[in-house]
Structure 1
Amino acid sequence: MLKLIESLIRYEIRQNVIKERDYVYVRNQLFNLLRIEPTDQDISYESIGYPSDALDPILDILEEQHILDGSKVARDLFDAKIMNVFAKLPSEIEDLFFNLYKKDSKLATDWYYNYMKALNYIRSERIEKNEFFKTSSIYGDVEITINLSKPEKDPKSILAASKVKSLAYPKCVLCAESEGFAGNPSRDSRDQHRLIELNVNNEPWYLQYSPYTYYNEHAIVLSKEHRPMKINQKTFENLLELCEQFNHYLFGSNADLPIVGGSILSHDHYQGGNYVFPIEKAKTLDSWKKDGITYNLKKWPLSTLVIKSKSKEALIKKAVSILDKWKNYDNADLDIKSYSDDTPHHTITPIARIEDGFYTLTLILRDNQTSDEHPLGIFHPHADKWHIKKENIGLIEAMGLAILPARLKTEMAFVKSYLLTQKQLPDEALKHKDFAQKILNEHQIDKDNVDEILEQAIGEVFVSILEDSGCFKQNKEGISAFKSFIKDELI
């Protein structure tokens, strides 16, 4: 245990999380937390690559000592407490961040991102377990991740969570009150979580990074007030303001309606990061200019319009006009309906960036209707693709980066074996039988090409899911209607 503690302390000194001057204090704090008899003897250590290299064996020892109950949740709660010993106070973090920001916003975000990785809030070693690949399509390359980083709850953790009284504090996992929150079996620890307070259009917002980042510097910006998400003029203003504050980042918002929105609609928030998504590389179907605004209709499975202007105000005004028109747009021939009685169906998934002096908004039209044939959503993954993904298509996936469930790693291993041997699929993979048979019908499979062909097939299902989610389909009728909607009604 002593060698592991020493290795962790030396790692954090190397990462500039603490200084050599902090050594004795931090060691004493860890001795107390880990119930170790204090000592001043010199202790050997190993150079480690991640905090988890020391944390995992420390947690193993605590389980052997019956200090932890062996559940995954108990381990995560306790390792956050260990790492909080190294963490600076929020005010100190902000001072360091903004001192760097005065020089360059990228210097500030680089430091903050690396600091949160070194504190193990961003769990880098788990994220690197995610599977990632690209596949080609008529829309350009799309990107696929199989999300293996966030551990599924084990039976002990589920049992412990069932015994925890429901909390009203913090109201949700995004609330600013989560900063430093100790967590419990039903709520992740935020012990070493640190936020950066921002002023966005004269309102308090907070910047943080996702603990399980899906792309480079996966940032979250959340409102101080716990309020529902809403796509309106303020959304466009805030996204572009954030791009001005961090001009090396893209910022976007999930839609604000169920089915087409993200997983947390109860707290107003945006996502951003230092990443170029497939949607940004998509080709243009049609382009025109008017009144200082450039319009690009994109060749993309989701109905996507990109508008650019040197004038932020003009761009925001036009985005609001498009949103208002879309909210009330009906097209019975294409199953597009804006309202059912007083229930709205239409909204927009917006994305903002500043490029070459131009303000840019990418507007993705969304519709959350359901029907008897498609009870989970007409413009949602249809049932024949649920074997790959059944969940909502949110902001990240709308931009062309699939986040697929961890179960696929095991299930696709069975599919691969089936493709090579045609032996019966086990029960847990039978849902993929038609998918696998289609691959066999279309390809000559051998051990040298099976992985590439299987990945391409998964990518094709993801593209088909995006096509299901598109309101104006990428066919002659759909493209014509989309052009008509934009040109005739808006310009």
Structure 2
Amino acid sequence: MSISKTITDFATLAIQAGGWMELDRIYLQNRLLAMIGEETMAPAAPSKVRATSQELLAELVHQAQKNGVVEKNPEQLAIFEAQLMDFLTPPPSVVNAFFAKHYDKSPEEATNYFYELNQRNNYIHSQAAEARQFYTTLTEYGELEIVIQPAVKKTSQQESQQEYPKCELCMENEGYAGRENYPARTNQRIIRMNLDGESWGFHYAPAACYDEQAIISAEKHQPLTFNQATFRRLMRIVEVLPHYFVGAETDLLLSGGENTTHEHYQAGRKEFPLAKAEIVDYFEFADYPLMNAGIVKWPLPVIRLQSPNQEDLVLTGTEILNKWRGYSDAEIQMEAVAPDGTLRHTLMAIARRKELLFELDLVLCDNSPKHRSFEQASFTAKKQLGLMEVMGATVVAAALEETPNWQAAVGQQFLQALTQAAPFEPSASGQAAFKRFIASL
């Protein structure tokens, strides 16, 4: 394919994406021509595009490198590629309008549109996602998942060393060109969401570890908190996106490199092993007769609440959170507050829809030295367990596949890490202590 044909096809895809019109074709082609260091273009009539956007991108980048207009170092290439793919991405106002138009038909159609846009414009690393491999290992708690993830440079979601943007979850990233040690976001788009009068942004994770991995972050750069408003937002999000789960990390430093300086939630179109785990011991809340409540069979202590009434879950979740924050048990040497006054207890929460029911899983977390290591063993990444791991899935390097019996070994070490992080041990005495907490509610 000639470079003129590549430019013509790329301009066609840009027009089809909805951000440009046919009247803009010459302008688009000339912009692309200049970006890759070309000066003339042979006539090439528009026709059906048979190559993918990624294939056309690769040809444009190759030509730009031949012409010496872009360096070959990964950071400069990423910035250049994002600038090219920005042509295939309508402006934020247009993307939000298209999302709303699709949402009028169904929430699923809206996220399908937005996800496919992020794949076509290469904001989501589609090739890496397609190369992911999933394995399962059977345990007494059901199947745990092991994800073999290709090597992709993942963003750290840490505080920026400069004032702008403050971190990688800020709205100011939308369209940001990137710089050394800070990712390009030229082709990022964010769907605005109104959650109880507050502005939040829905966007996808570039280096996804599971299907349609998404982030919902506050417009304001504010620290992660866990309170009644958290539960209300989670319920609102699964009402708006009923085919997605949404989860909240803890507000204590339990989850390693996750960003606790910018309030956000994780979401996606994925049924994790925790969602499949069953309730093994039911109990009741007298004030909420429509609610099912029980202990889930899981390595970590999980309370599951189900109700057709969202507000019941919000109020009950808040009650459990407040009780757990101050809960101590002398029989197992559990203290809610450290000697220096630091709080040790908090939750992770995962919300989902089950037909007419709203469902909320509350994972009890303890930040005492006995539990806070959360470190997975040598086969898995040296990191503390985050929401994905708590729900029963862990990411490992592809090189492990060459290790004999690696799958069983990783599964057992992952299970051990989950069990070690549990505030209540799986022993009879530990489970009796868990039930003492339930009885205190």
Q: TM-score, normalised by structure 2?
A: 0.90
Q: Secondary structure at the match of 2:253?
A: coil
Out of 447, 466, 476, the position equivalent to 2:428 is 476
For the pair 1:402 / 2:394, whether they are aligned, the reply is yes
Partner residue of 1:76?
78
Q: Secondary structure at the match of 1:128?
A: helix
Cα distance in 2 for residues equivalent to 1:336 and 1:18: 61
Out of 370, 380, 389, the position equivalent to 2:374 is 380
Q: Is the 8 A contact 1:277 1:400 kept in 2?
A: yes
- Where do 1:42-61 residues align within 5 Å? 42=44, 50-61=52-63
Cα distance in 2 for residues equivalent to 1:380 and 1:282: 21
Out of 226, 246, 252, the position equivalent to 1:231 is 226
Question: Residue 299 and residue 49 in structure 1: after superposition, are their counterparts in 2 closer, same or farther (change >3 A)?
Answer: farther
Out of 288, 301, 304, the position equivalent to 2:302 is 304
Cα distance in 1 for residues equivalent to 2:418 and 2:299: 6
Partner residue of 1:62?
64
Deviation of the 1:146 alpha carbon:
2.6
For the pair 1:364 / 2:363, whether they are aligned, the reply is yes
Partner residue of 1:457?
409
Partner residue of 2:173?
178
Q: Is the 8 A contact 2:328 2:334 kept in 1?
A: yes
- Greater mean deviation of Cα atoms: 20-29 or 121-130: 20-29
Question: Residue 64 and residue 7 in structure 1: after superposition, are their counterparts in 2 closer, same or farther (change >3 A)?
Answer: same
Q: Alignment length, in residue pairs?
A: 431
Partner residue of 1:25?
27
Question: Residue 19 and residue 476 in structure 1: after superposition, are their counterparts in 2 closer, same or farther (change >3 A)?
Answer: farther
Q: Is the 8 A contact 1:259 1:380 kept in 2?
A: yes
Q: Is the 8 A contact 2:6 2:56 kept in 1?
A: yes
- Where do 1:214-229 residues align within 5 Å? 214-229=209-224
For the pair 1:489 / 2:409, whether they are aligned, the reply is no
Partner residue of 1:441?
none
The residue type equivalent to 1:24 in the other structure is I
Partner residue of 1:122?
124
Q: Secondary structure at the match of 1:192?
A: coil
Deviation of the 1:132 alpha carbon:
2.1
- Across the aligned residues of Structure 1 and Structure 2, the Cα RMSD in angstroms comes to 2.4
Q: Secondary structure at the match of 2:433?
A: helix
The residue type equivalent to 1:117 in the other structure is Q
Cα distance in 2 for residues equivalent to 1:304 and 1:25: 57
Q: 1:15-73 CA deviation, whole Å, 9 max, x = no partner?
A: 77766555433222211221211325127999666433232343344334333332111
The residue type equivalent to 1:313 in the other structure is E
Q: Is the 8 A contact 2:300 2:421 kept in 1?
A: yes
- Where do 1:77-476 residues align within 5 Å? 77-151=79-153, 166-260=161-255, 263-290=258-285, 291-292=288-289, 293-340=291-338, 341-370=340-369, 378=372, 380-381=374-375, 385-404=377-396, 408-413=397-402, 415-416=403-404, 453-476=405-428
Question: Residue 355 and residue 460 in structure 1: after superposition, are their counterparts in 2 closer, same or farther (change >3 A)?
Answer: same
Stretches of structure 2 that go unaligned for 5 or more consecutive residues are none
Deviation of the 1:5 alpha carbon:
3.1
Q: Secondary structure at the match of 1:344?
A: coil
Cα distance in 2 for residues equivalent to 1:79 and 1:205: 27
Q: 1:77-118 CA deviation, whole Å, 9 max, x = no partner?
A: 110000112221111111111112122111111111111111
- Greater mean deviation of Cα atoms: 98-107 or 51-60: 51-60
Cα distance in 1 for residues equivalent to 2:265 and 2:372: 25
Q: Secondary structure at the match of 1:109?
A: helix
Question: Residue 356 and residue 45 in structure 1: after superposition, are their counterparts in 2 closer, same or farther (change >3 A)?
Answer: closer
Q: Is the 8 A contact 2:4 2:42 kept in 1?
A: no
Deviation of the 1:363 alpha carbon:
0.1
The residue type equivalent to 2:320 in the other structure is I
Cα distance in 2 for residues equivalent to 1:16 and 1:149: 32
Cα distance in 1 for residues equivalent to 2:408 and 2:56: 38
Cα distance in 1 for residues equivalent to 2:35 and 2:68: 15
Cα distance in 2 for residues equivalent to 1:82 and 1:122: 15
Q: Is the 8 A contact 1:255 1:348 kept in 2?
A: yes
Partner residue of 1:442?
none
The residue type equivalent to 2:367 in the other structure is N
The residue type equivalent to 1:410 in the other structure is A
Partner residue of 1:439?
none
Q: 1:438-483 CA deviation, whole Å, 9 max, x = no partner?
A: xxxxxxxxxxxxxxx4323222221221112221122212222112
Question: Residue 460 and residue 7 in structure 1: after superposition, are their counterparts in 2 closer, same or farther (change >3 A)?
Answer: farther
Q: 1:349-390 CA deviation, whole Å, 9 max, x = no partner?
A: 00112223222210001112226xxxxx545126xx134232
Aligned-pair identity (%) = 29
Question: Residue 19 and residue 344 in structure 1: after superposition, are their counterparts in 2 closer, same or farther (change >3 A)?
Answer: same
Cα distance in 1 for residues equivalent to 2:223 and 2:11: 41
Q: Secondary structure at the match of 2:215?
A: strand
Q: 1:404-447 CA deviation, whole Å, 9 max, x = no partner?
A: 3xxx323542x34xxxxxxxxxxxxxxxxxxxxxxxxxxxxxxx
Q: Secondary structure at the match of 2:424?
A: coil
Deviation of the 1:297 alpha carbon:
0.4
Deviation of the 1:204 alpha carbon:
0.6
Deviation of the 1:337 alpha carbon:
2.6
Stretches of structure 1 that go unaligned for 5 or more consecutive residues are 154-164, 372-376, 417-452
